[in-house]
Structure formats: structure tokens, C-alpha cells
Amino acid sequence: MVNTILVTGGAGFLGSHLCERLLNEGKNVICVDNFSTGSKDNIMHLHDNPKFEIIRHDINFPLYLEIDQIYNLACPASPVHYQLDPVQTIKTNVHGSINLLGLAKRTKARILQASTSEVYGDPEVHPQPETYCGKVNPIGTRSCYDEGKRCAESLFFDYHRQYGMDIKVARIFNTYGPRMHPDDGRVVSNFIMQALQNKEITIYGDGNQSRSFCYVDDLVDGLIRLMNAENVVGPVNLGNDGEFSMRELAEKVISLTDSNSKLSFHPLPMDDPRQRRPDLRRATEKLGWTPTVALEEGLMRTIEYFAAQLEHYNDAVVI
Ligand code: NAD
Ligand code: UDP
Ligand code: UDP
């Protein structure tokens, strides 16, 4: 029986939703976080739950706990955040993963790695199936993240082959929703914050590059299904296979917020992938999972969250 679940990065965007869902299922949850990009605000509402525990800890250091399952989400996820301290980012992916794999090995816990669609780099195969090995620049400014995540996948599979460990690897595609950090520089948070304030919408490049956006509740559901599926190691793509250009996204956000914002064009960051869409056949076949929240619906829920955050901030400034 699964008694205690460790969620690293539990104070972050995805981690806080995961902790909340697991607690709602009656599980004991330990959240480990160094609060580098996460925040106590994301988990304060869980604080009084007797089944919830918070530990401030950096996973680059060893961790001794008795647990049954581990979700390893600790890692900055947005390009702005992971490029602030690239060495720390790669260490978190490599040293951090080794420590958690060591913990899982000692406790015989099942361990799931939050990997990413970034392992496919700037893909030449479209949509991306799990069998595609990717096209990644090993020395670029994104490599601390994408090569770090690739190395973490190697570690998970080597611990699996060498020690027979019970591992899971989820390749997560762009996910959005309430509790995204308003300043993380990701496209959904940027566009919504800009549109709500009638500021220019910053399009990088010509805006024809594409992404596929998954609403957070769907993603968390996929993670839990993968963790609890017997005989599915992965990697498994988790995301939404609706594909949109950044121009289309900007237009949707402007219309849903009824904003006066205009588009402004800026240089494309280095190694920015031109297209991305998950092939979801493996997730559907092995986990019986498909995303259910359409982009407009998910954007509306996210816009409500950011609007409330802005109101709160403005009130605080007035006081
Ligand atoms: P986030 O930045 O909101 O959350 C990451 C959390 O990890 C934060 O709370 C941060 O403080 C914590 N953390 C970072 N380094 C740590 C360390 N060394 N020790 C302990 N805690 C540490 O990001 P997120 O969007 O919630 O992403 C969570 C995970 O999912 C990440 O591993 C990310 O790579 C992966 N992922 C996310 C997306 C997405 O679109 N959100 C896509 C692909 C993969
Ligand atoms: N580790 C940990 N908690 C544990 C067990 C191990 O943090 O409960 C860390 C420890 O730092 C160790 C690493 O995980 O170095 C890898 O463990 P493993 O058993 O693979 O290797 P070793 O102990 O031989 O270094
Ligand atoms: N992007 C953009 N304007 C912004 C922020 C991002 O046009 O204000 C673009 C970015 O160049 C990329 C896409 O939106 O092509 C998704 O960026 P994000 O950082 O959200 O995710 P990732 O590149 O990691 O998929």
C-alpha cells in the first residue's frame, strides 16, 4: 500500500497542483522544495492538512526519508528561470536525480521523473513520438535544461537496468494554468499579463513557431495515471495535441481578455524550437489518458487567476 508520497518541487506550479490532488485522494504528502522558483503562496492553502508536510531542501544534497513513491519535479522550468543560474539547473537535473534515485533505491520506492518535450530539441519529426531521439544543441543556452533532462532520463534508465528499480519517465509538453509565475517569461503568462494590462504583446520571431498547450489539471491526471500504471516505464508523452502558432495564441488571449493590446515583434531567442506537438498514442494506449480541457477553456481559467492576482497586487500598492 502506498502510504507516503514525496513530491520534489512541490511548491512550484505543477508540484502544488499535484500535492493538492494527492491530498484530495487521501494520501500523505511530503513536499520538498528550495523555493528558488516556487512559492509558499502556492501551498499555503494545504498547510493545515495533517497529511501534508513541507521541507525546505535543495535536492542537490542527500535526503533521508521513508517514503513509498517519489515524483521528481524539482527544477526551474521556464527559459528565463533556468538560464538565471545554468550551472545550478544542470546540477539539479544530474546530482539531484542521483540523490533521489539513491533514496528510491534504499527505500524501494517507485520514482517518476518529470522530463520534458525539450529532450526533442528543435525537432525534425512532427508530431514527436517517444521513439524520436531529438535534435539538441549540447552547447547552447538551453542545454543546461534540455541536456540536463536528457542526462536525468539516462540516469533513470540506468538505475532501472542496473538495479531493477521501479521508474517512470513522463515527457511533459508546455503546460499552463493557475499558479504559473507571472514573471517567468513563459508565453502564456507573458501574453495574459500583457493583455490584462493593455500592454504590447511581445512576439518573439515572426510568431509562426508553434507549441501545444496542456491545461494543468489534465497534466496532473496523466502524471498520477503513469505513476500508478503497472508495467509502464515510459517515456510517455503527456500534453495536449492541439497545435497553435504564437500569433494565434496572442489573438486568442487578446480576444478572451477583451484587450486593446497590439502585437510587437522581438528577436527569437537562441535555439528556440520552431514547432512542437506531442504524439499521444502511447499515453492513450498504455494509460487510457487523453487531455480534456480545450485551449480556450483553460485560458479562461488562467486569465481569471491572473486577473485576481493583478487586483490583489494593485490593492496592495494602493494601501
Ligand atoms: P516551477 O519552476 O514552478 O517548479 C519547480 C519547483 O522546483 C519550484 O518550486 C522550485 O523552487 C523547485 N526547485 C528547483 N530547483 C530545486 C532544487 N535544486 N531543490 C529543490 N527544489 C527545487 O516549474 P513547473 O512548471 O512547475 O515544472 C515542474 C517540473 O515539470 C520541472 O521539472 C519541469 O522541468 C517539468 N516540466 C514542466 C513543464 C511546463 O510546461 N510547466 C513542461 C515540461 C516539463
Ligand atoms: N542518497 C540519498 N538518500 C538515501 C540514499 C542515497 O540522498 O536514502 C543519495 C546519496 O547521496 C548517494 C546517492 O543518493 O550518493 C546515490 O545513491 P546510490 O545508492 O546509487 O549510490 P552510492 O550510495 O553508492 O553513492
Ligand atoms: N514567446 C513569445 N513571446 C513571449 C514569450 C515566449 O513569442 O513573450 C515564444 C518563445 O520564443 C517560444 C514560445 O513562445 O517560441 C514558447 O515559449 P515558452 O518560453 O513559453 O516555452 P518553450 O520555448 O520552453 O516551449
The mean of the pLDDT values for the chain is 96
Q: How many domains does the chain have?
A: 1
Q: Does any domain span residue 175? A: yes
pLDDT of residue 316: 61
- The response to whether residue 111 sits with its C-beta less than 6 Å from ligand 2 reads no
The protein residue with its alpha carbon nearest to ligand 2, atom 17, reads 102
Asked if the model's pLDDT at residue 151 lies above 80, the reply is yes
Q: Does any domain span residue 254? A: no
Q: Does any domain span residue 252? A: no
- The response to whether residue 149 sits with its C-beta less than 6 Å from ligand 3 reads no
Q: Does any domain span residue 14? A: yes
Q: How far is the CA of 259 from the centre of ligand 1 (A)?
A: 30
The protein residue with its alpha carbon nearest to ligand 2, atom 25, reads 102
Q: What is the mean pLDDT of residues 256-283?
A: 95
Contact 119, 146 (CB under 8 A): yes
Asked if the model's pLDDT at residue 84 lies above 60, the reply is yes
Asked if the model's pLDDT at residue 62 lies above 70, the reply is yes
- The response to whether residue 187 sits with its C-beta less than 6 Å from ligand 3 reads yes
CA-to-CA distance for 140 and 234, rounded, in angstroms? Answer: 27
Q: Do the bridges between strand 244-245 and strand 210-211 make them parallel or antiparallel, or are there none, so unpaired?
A: antiparallel
- The response to whether residue 262 sits with its C-beta less than 6 Å from ligand 2 reads no
Predicted TM-score of the model (pTM): 0.96
Cis peptide before 123 (omega within 30 of 0): no
Q: Given 71, 82, 120, 145, which residue is catalytic?
A: 145
- The response to whether residue 64 sits with its C-beta less than 6 Å from ligand 2 reads yes
- Please state whether 207 falls in left (phi above 0), alpha (psi between -120 and 50) or beta: left
- CATH number of the domain that 66 lies in? 3.40.50.720
215 is catalytic: no
Q: Does any domain span residue 231? A: yes
Tens-place pLDDT, residues 270-281:
888 899 999 999
- The response to whether residue 65 sits with its C-beta less than 6 Å from ligand 2 reads no
Selection from 211, 217, 220, 215 nearest residue 244 by Cα: 211
Tens-place pLDDT, residues 101-138:
999 999 999 999 999 999 999 999 999 999 999 999 99
- The response to whether residue 160 sits with its C-beta less than 6 Å from ligand 2 reads no
pLDDT of residue 319: 44
Asked if the model's pLDDT at residue 317 lies above 70, the reply is no
**ipTM of model over 0.85:** yes
Q: In what order do the strands lie in the sheet with 110-116?
A: 52-56, 28-33, 4-8, 69-72, 110-116, 167-172, 236-238
Q: Does any domain span residue 209? A: no
Q: Does any domain span residue 117? A: yes
Q: Does any domain span residue 282? A: yes
The protein residue with its alpha carbon nearest to ligand 3, atom 17, reads 187
Q: How far is the CA of 162 from the centre of ligand 2 (A)?
A: 15
Domain coverage including residue 30: 4-180+214-242+272-293
Q: Which ligand is nearest to the CA of 72?
A: 1
The protein residue with its alpha carbon nearest to ligand 2, atom 4, reads 103
| Atom of ligand 1 lying closest to residue 15 CA | 26
CA-to-CA distance for 120 and 168, rounded, in angstroms? Answer: 18
Asked if the model's pLDDT at residue 314 lies above 90, the reply is no
Q: What angle do CA 34, 39, 40 make, to 5 degrees?
A: 100
The protein residue with its alpha carbon nearest to ligand 2, atom 11, reads 62
| Atom of ligand 1 lying closest to residue 60 CA | 18
Q: How far is the CA of 64 from the centre of ligand 2 (A)?
A: 9
